[in-house]
């Protein structure tokens, strides 16, 4: 596995970086061309129920992360993400949330780096 970065989808990645959108919903106001996404793995994003419960509330992040890790345990989408990472030297997990510290990409990157 190469390097795994985290970046807002609205920001460009370094040249040669494979960009994977990890949101279940396409980012508002962003065309597919402008997003520069190489792969959209919407099923690796948190379920609608979990996403709505979390509501990007930093006070709920630890519980969100634990519940999200449970959702990912044995999920085909997470296995697909891991397989994709093996094929690229540099990958950015991109997301649309404004909060750069409390989002699903942070949880995914921690899981991927731990394995």
pLDDT in tens, 1-17: 678 999 999 999 999 99
Contact 9, 30 (CB under 8 A): yes
The whole-angstrom separation of Cα 46 and Cα 56 is 12
pLDDT in tens, 16-32: 999 999 999 999 889 98
Three-class SS of residue 111? helix
pLDDT at 114: 85
Query: How many percent of the chain have pLDDT more than 70?
Result: 98
pTM recorded for the entire structure? 0.93
Arithmetic mean of pLDDT, 72-96: 94
Contact 96, 23 (CB under 8 A): yes
């Amino acid at each position: 596995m190469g390097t795994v970065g985290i970046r807002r989808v609205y920001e460009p990645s370094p040249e040669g970086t494979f960009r994977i959108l990890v949101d279940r919903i396409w980012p508002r106001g962003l065309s597919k061309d402008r997003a520069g996404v190489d792969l959209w793995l919407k099923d690796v994003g948190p379920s609608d129920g979990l996403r709505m419960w979390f509501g990007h509330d930093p006070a709920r992040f630890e519980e969100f992360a634990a519940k999200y890790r449970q959702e990912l345990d044995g999920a085909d989408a997470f296995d697909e993400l891991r397989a994709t990472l093996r094929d690229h030297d540099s990958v950015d997990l991109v997301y649309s949330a404004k909060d750069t510290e409390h989002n699903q990409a942070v949880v995914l990157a921690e899981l991927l780096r731990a394995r």
